[in-house]
C-alpha cells in the first residue's frame, strides 16, 4: 500500500511539473497578428499626438491613447469625432 501511494504521489509530481513547464514556454512559431506591423503615428505626427492626448484626457481611458496612436479599430477617427462633437462650421 505504501508503494502504491508513493507511486501515485510521484506520478502527480511529474504530471504537475510537466504542465507547469509547458505552460510557461513560448510557442516556437508565433502567428503574425494584424497589429504586428502597426506604426505609432504619435511619434511621427504632432497633430496625431495632440488629438490622441486630448481624446485620452477627455475620455479618461487608459486604452484610448495607444489605440488612437496605432489606428486600431478606427480609434483615431472615433476620437476626432468625439473631440469635435458639437462644433459646427457655421459662423
Residue position matching grid coordinates 502597426: 38
pLDDT of 32 above 80: no
The pLDDT value given to residue 27: 52
Domain boundaries in the chain? 2-83
Question: Which of 31-40, 52-61, 70-79, 82-91 is predicted least confidently?
Answer: 31-40
Three-state SS string over 36-67 comes to CCCCCHHHCCHHHHHHHHHHHHHHCCCCHHHH
Helix (H) or strand (E) holding 22: helix 2-24
Note if the pTM is more than 0.85: no
Strand residues in 10-82 grouped as ranges (E):
none
Q: pLDDT category, 42, cuts 50, 70, 90? A: very high
Digit-coded pLDDT (tens) for 5-21: 777 767 667 666 666 65
Q: How far apart are CA 81 and CA 79, in angstroms?
A: 5
Amino acid at each position: 500500500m505504501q508503494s502504491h501511494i508513493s507511486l501515485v504521489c510521484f506520478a502527480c509530481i511529474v504530471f504537475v511539473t510537466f504542465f507547469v513547464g509547458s505552460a510557461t514556454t513560448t510557442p516556437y512559431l508565433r502567428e503574425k497578428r494584424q497589429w504586428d506591423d502597426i506604426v505609432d503615428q504619435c511619434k511621427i505626427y504632432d497633430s496625431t499626438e495632440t488629438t490622441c492626448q486630448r481624446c485620452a484626457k477627455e475620455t479618461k481611458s487608459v486604452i484610448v491613447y495607444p489605440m488612437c496612436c496605432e489606428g486600431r479599430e478606427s480609434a483615431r477617427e472615433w476620437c476626432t469625432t468625439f473631440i469635435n462633437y458639437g462644433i459646427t462650421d457655421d459662423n
